[in-house]
Amino acid sequence: MLTLLLIIIYIAFISLGLPDAILGSAWPKIYQDLNVSISSAGIATMIVSAGTIISSFFSAKLIKGFGTGKVTTFSVALTAAALLGIYSSPSFLWICLLGIPMGLGAGAVDSALNNFVALHYEAKHMNWLHCFWGIGATAGPLIMSIYLLKDNGWRSGYATIGIIQVALVICLIFSLPLWEKFEFNTNKDEDSKKDTKLGTLLKIPGAKPALLSFFCYCAAELTTGLWASSYLVVSKGISTEKAAKWVSFFYLGITIGRFLSGFLAMYFNNKKMIKIGQVICICGVILLIIPFSSYFQLAGLILIGLGCAPIYPAMLHETPNRFGKEISQGIMGIQMATAYVGSTFMPPLFGILAKATTFNLLPYFILTLVVLMLLTSEIVSKVCNGSSNINKI
The answer to whether 79 and 105 are in contact (CB under 8 A) is yes
Cα 116 to chain centroid distance, Å, stands at 16
The residues near 348 (Cβ < 8 Å, ≥ 6 apart) are 42
Q: Nearest-CA neighbor of 102 among 169, 19, 181, 43?
A: 19
The whole-angstrom separation of Cα 357 and Cα 292 is 23
Q: Tell me, what's the pLDDT at 294?
A: 82
What does the alpha-carbon distance between residue 123 and residue 261 come to, in Å, rounded to a whole number? 9
For the chain, residues classed under CATH 1.20.1250.20 are 2-186, 198-383
Looking at residue 150, its pLDDT comes to 82
Residue pair 176/69 in contact by the 8 Å Cβ criterion: yes
pLDDT digits (tens, 9 = 90+) for 70-91: 999 999 999 999 999 999 999 9
Residue 235 CA to residue 189 CA, distance in Å, equals 60
Q: Is 45 exposed, middle or buried (0-12, 13-18, 19+ CB in 10 A)?
A: middle
The pLDDT value given to residue 355: 87
- The correct answer on CATH 2.40.37.10 for the domain covering 2-186 is no
Q: What's the pLDDT at 388?
A: 46
pLDDT given for residue 187 in this prediction: 63
Look at domain 198-383 and name its CATH class: mainly alpha
CA distance 285 to 370: 9
- The CA distance from 178 to 70, in Å, is 11
Structure confidence at residue 392 (pLDDT): 61
What pLDDT digit, counting tens, does each position of 205-214 carry? 999 999 999 9
Task: Read off the DSSP letter of residue 368.
Answer: H
Residue 10: the pLDDT is 93
205: left (phi over 0), alpha (psi -120 to 50) or beta: beta
Q: 206: alpha, beta or left, given left = phi > 0 and alpha = psi -120 to 50?
A: left
Q: What is the pLDDT of residue 386?
A: 53
pLDDT of residue 181: 84
| Helices marked H in 196-294 | 198-202, 207-236, 240-264, 270-289
Q: Give pLDDT, residue 291.
A: 84
Q: Which residues in the chain come in under a pLDDT of 50?
A: 189, 191-192, 387-390
